[in-house]
Chain A
Amino acid sequence: MIELLKTIEFEPFLLSFKLAGITTLILFFISLPLSWYLSQTKSKIKPILEAITALPIVLPPSVLGFYILWTLSYNSPLGGFFEEVFGIKLVFNFTGLVIASCFYSLPFMVQPLQSGFESMNKNMIEASYICGKSKFETLIKVALPNIKPALLTAIIVTFAHTVGEFGVVLMVGGSIPGETKVASVAIYEFVEIMDYKSAHVYSGIMVIMSFLVLLGVYIFNGRNNKKFGV
């Protein structure tokens, strides 16, 4: 067993975690204002925004991957612009993966945050306004600290979901070792070349890690709910 583990290349895992970490960080800052707005607004465009945000959940990853690939490639205005002006390629590299992941995992960050904000006592938010505090200060000092379980869920699920993504990554990133070959893609390739031993080890590691992360979230949320009397 140990012999086997020694032969395993861990780069795809590191790449998966690097991608998931960066994606989660970016999405946190994008989703915070978005989910706050969605939870507070009574505007008519709310359902439209909600539907767009939720699209990546229902769309096949290939559809999403195709559109992202098409938008970011050199032949599209956006991709062409970036390449000509900044000299940055947006597809088949790590940058492209991050952009694609941000789209793909957006709902997993926005939805828990939004439902967390929506389940808060509305009077508490108003009380903060009456105390003279701005919306931003209320968000940071009152709203966020009181949705810790939802916040943790959002961060962990986004991270885990990005680690677990496959279709979009394959389409936008391909499988370049050290650049875009993440763990899920590596497993796919092992199976393709019938290296079942490596596929087993990789898959086993993924299952165990995912389980431990989720277990941690549920234990933390259980404790936290008791503490705040939710």
Chain B
Amino acid sequence: MIKIDIFKKLHGSNGEMQLDVDLEIKEGDFIALAGLSGSGKTTLLRILAGLEEAKGDIKIGKELWQGDGIFLPPQKRKIGFVYQDYALFPNMSVEENLLYVQKDKKLAKHLLQITELEELKNRLPNTLSGGQKQRVSLCRALMNRPKVLLMDEPLSALDPKMRMKLQQEILTLHKEFKTTTIMVSHDPSEMYRLSNRVIVLDQGKIIDDGKAKDVLLKTNGSQKFSFEGELLDIIKVDVIHVAIVSIGQQLVEIVISKAEAEDLEKGQNVLVSTKAFAPLVKHI
């Protein structure tokens, strides 16, 4: 069991706020940490890693990382950390990046095999693609068999296809190493696929905590579909009004009534939902 009870004053972009998190995590869990930018997600990871100080306690199993006048430095915490910008050592080859953590050639080879990087082991990081770099970073984070793996938006800089592939690899590695993992993410599908618990932070406080399905599904009651989007335009066609709404990466047209058209303004954020119909789902 991991017990976190920390408190820190932050000077964020939205003025001063208190990061106040009281949390228990089961060993082996995969936690997705969500929330708007500036809500304290990254700071929470950094505090767990010992890179920033905060008041309160952090206890991993029987080991006290922080509290009662004890503050373990990052070197002694046995963590893995995956950064969005990879933070690889440019002067070392892929394999040397891994062996820098621990001279365990067998483990390095195994990790590089799982992530299909074995053939690139002698290359320098700057000759690799973003996806490859992030895989090296992931392998490096696992080299000291960490008790907790922290990932700060590890996949946000990658294209969707590469993201899917890495999600699969993260899942494989998580199953094999059984490392308790906390991942900051903005991508609902990623959180759904990887995590078994989603925690949402807002202004430094936990505002939602539960299974991915319960936290992330935006529908309520009898609604079957519900999407948030931005209203780009309302076009009058003969007697009907058509709203153009941007949802995710797509534009959709929705017929709306005159009353609705008068009530809405361009640029507003809108919720598009529907109840009774039978949608078709086909692969593309």
Contacts and interface: CB of A to CB of B under 8 A. Distances in A.
Nearest to A132: B75
A132 B101 contact: yes
B101 A146 contact: no
Interface in A89-135: 121, 123-124, 126-134
Given A123-B83, A127-B83, A131-B140, A146 B90 contact: yes
Interface in A118-175: 121, 123-124, 126-134, 141-142, 145-146
B100 A130 contact: no
A87 interface: no
B101 A126 contact: no
B267 interface: no
Given A128-B100, A134-B75, A146-B90, 6 more contacts: A129-B74, A129-B75, A130-B81, A131-B101, A132-B144, A133-B100
Contacts, number: 58
A229 B143 CA distance: 26
A228 interface: yes
Nearest to A135: B75
Nearest to B76: A132
Contacts of B76: 132
18 contacts: A121-B87, A126-B81, A127-B140, A129-B51, A129-B75, A130-B51, A130-B77, A130-B79, A131-B100, A131-B140, A132-B76, A133-B75, A133-B100, A142-B91, A146-B89, A146-B91, A228-B90, A228-B91
Contacts of A126: 49, 51, 74, 81, 87
B80 interface: yes
Nearest to A127: B87
A130 B91 contact: no
B85 interface: yes
Interface of B: 49, 51, 73-77, 79-81, 83, 85, 87-91, 100-102, 126, 140, 143-144
B65 to A, nearest CB: 13
B223 to A, nearest CB: 42
Nearest to A122: B87
B150 to A, nearest CB: 9
Contact of A121 (B80, B81, B85, B102): B85
A142 B89 contact: yes
A229 B133 CA distance: 14
Contacts of A134: 75
Contacts of A124: 87-89
A131 B75 CA distance: 7
Most buried by A among B49, B79, B81: B81
Nearest to A120: B90
Contacts of B83: 123, 127
A146 B124 CA distance: 13
Most buried by B among A123, A133, A145: A123
Most buried by B among A123, A130, A133: A130
Contact of B87 (A123, A145, A229): A123
B81 A228 contact: no
A131 B144 contact: yes
Nearest to A125: B87
Contacts of B100: 128, 131, 133, 141
Interface string A19-59: 00000000000000000000000000000000000000000
B49 A130 contact: yes
A145 B91 contact: yes
Contacts of B89: 124, 127-128, 142, 146
Contacts of A145: 91
Contact of B80 (A130, A133, A141, A229): A130
Contacts of A129: 51, 73-75
B91 A123 contact: no
A94 B79 CA distance: 53
B16 to A, nearest CB: 19
Given A141-B100, A228-B126, A130 B74 contact: yes
B92 to A, nearest CB: 8
B167 to A, nearest CB: 22
B120 to A, nearest CB: 16
A105 to B, nearest CB: 27
